[in-house]
A and B are shown apart, each in its own frame.
Chain A
């Protein structure tokens, strides 16, 4: 994050414990003004608690919350220039859509609210339904009322707590684009809590991946995806192949790794482990779509300098745009490979002997002391 970018929200040493359960470990987080920021993690990772501390609905056990350069830690929620879109929407059932939307404006003593309410309902395309009660609206419409009710107040920061969780897939995709459009239009800082990595990557400028009350890694979606900093991030954001290896030598800008009798190279600047000494245990990571697959008989065609692994196809599933292979190799029991269906893949059927290869620049290196399965399966929801 560049220094000249003003901070919208700054959390300093913030933490939260409930009894003897620590929901949020002490952490620092700076959210640039006007950005679309996502807090991504599995349920129970502390992302919603973090959001509620920004809103003032939860008092931090320690640390400070700053909006711009103002310390709001001790301010109650109704004194903070922050609004929330709740997961359950929390629309007031006894008020009409327009009264729901006008609620915040009226509480701040505004008398003439009609114009603003009309404009914001126009923005979320709900103008004709202004007089309805929330119970008379569909889920997607309720979601948009909740959004309108928050942004009409022009808060400094808009907090979104899994706002799309209750919508079906098609509507969710539509609302994602809609939210992004509205954020660009109104220019407010959005802090979006979600467990859906695809949603976070589609919408956010910056993602903080949270795990067990800590921020595992923070960065732009592409950055997190291309060079994850931990096994959890590598597995939670998309899919990764993590191969246990150890460093055998350093050659200029590259590190040479050995996994069994296979040699892999890795750019030195993509190595996340603290030590680069020979013998250090590392996990060599590669995304499934970066791997090319060839029949063993075709091995001569593998470009010079590519990392290569040999194995046997265990499973192949055709998904339309791509074919997903599971390949067993002596050094990694299950390697995932996604191959675009550009050319026909003759002979690439289960049982076939294959060679996998990829450009070493796509390899990333992680500390070898962590669980290579972190962030997969149940952990990842």
Chain B
């Protein structure tokens, strides 16, 4: 009886904890197996505790090169997609021009299309244009699919913004550039940041499009893992995966703390 009452009172908390556990369980398994010392090439049965892989994360040949490449492509494609996508979102949200509705749905298309179709058609395009597969082709492909997400995120933010604010800025002696920098940009920033974060995450873990558009010497981290999974995943993959998870958690927490601190100081 008592147990039942407890469950009824804390139903939301229990359901929430279960859902969160469901979401994070894979990460825990990855973390756990990063401390494994497998006997075969396959790291899927628990043998013994070891910090060997953590002390030598670059131990598997080529793994750190692939992480470096992924980070490089992730940063560059995020920068380019965020800049282009923000401009496109402003054009779509603030200006009425011919073909606006068409552009709106075309922008959405890369998000809706199966990734493999886009990957294959891009590959065909590069092949026919005789562009050598490698860093550039991966970068172009990543910028392309990230763009839509940035446009959608920024546009949503702009839609909730009173256009009268820009008029007020102009009325208060701010020229077009000043009005943009002082009022429009700061207000659109959360949308831009969300788009950028999404871009980086998408670029960092993309396999399919990268697979179709990479050269023989450009192996990104997801491609490395994909390739390794056929012949045995080294423990270092678990180490780098766990490290990425912790870095992401730390960044989010830092952002939260910073935001809270600022809010408290202002009030």
Residues of A within 8 A of B (CB): 55-57, 76-79, 82-84, 86, 88, 90-94, 96, 103-104, 107-108, 131-133, 136, 149-150, 153
Contacts and interface: CB of A to CB of B under 8 A. Distances in A.
Contacts of B186: 94
13 contacts: A57-B171, A77-B171, A78-B174, A90-B164, A90-B165, A92-B165, A92-B183, A93-B187, A103-B172, A104-B172, A107-B172, A149-B172, A153-B172
A55 B172 CA distance: 10
Given A93-B187, A94-B187, A136-B267, A78 B162 contact: no
Interface residues of B, number: 20
Classify the interface of chain A: helix, strand, loop or mixed: loop
A90 B167 contact: yes
A131 B174 contact: no
B123 to A, nearest CB: 44
A95 to B, nearest CB: 8
Given A94-B187, A107-B178, A133-B266, A86 B173 contact: no
7 nearest CB pairs, A to B: A104-B172, A90-B168, A107-B173, A90-B164, A77-B170, A78-B173, A84-B171
Residue with the highest number of chain B CB atoms closer than 10 Å, among A79, A107, A133? A107
B21 interface: no
A94 B187 CA distance: 7
Contacts of A78: 170-175, 178-179
Contacts of A83: 171-172
A94 B167 CA distance: 16
B172 to A, nearest CB: 4
B76 interface: no
Contact of B162 (A88, A103, A153): A88
Contact of B267 (A77, A90, A107, A132): A132
Contacts of B179: 78
A371 B162 CA distance: 40
A57 B170 contact: yes
* Residue with the highest number of chain A CB atoms closer than 10 Å, among B169, B171, B178: B171
A107 B266 CA distance: 22
Contacts of A108: 173
Nearest to B183: A92
Contact of A84 (B165, B168, B174, B183): B168
A107 B174 contact: yes
A347 B59 CA distance: 109
Contacts of B169: 92, 103
A55 B169 CA distance: 12
B168 A86 contact: yes
B170, B178, B183, B187, most chain A CB atoms within 10 A:
B170
Contacts of B266: 96, 131, 133
Contact of A57 (B162, B167, B173, B183): B167
Interface string B168-195: 1111111100110011001100000000
Contacts of B183: 92
Interface string B254-267: 00000000000011
Contacts of B162: 88, 90
Contacts of B174: 78, 103, 107
Most chain A Cβ neighbours within 10 Å, of B162, B164, B267: B164
Contacts of B175: 76, 78
A86 B167 contact: yes
A88 B164 contact: yes
Nearest to B178: A107
Nearest to B167: A57
Given A88-B164, A93-B187, 4 more contacts: A86-B167, A91-B168, A104-B172, A153-B172
Contacts of B171: 55-57, 77-78, 82-84
A76 B179 CA distance: 13
A108 B168 CA distance: 15
Chain A CB within 10 A, most for which of B162, B167, B170, B173 = B173
Contacts of A96: 266
A93 B165 CA distance: 9
Interface in B134-192: 162, 164-165, 167-175, 178-179, 182-183, 186-187
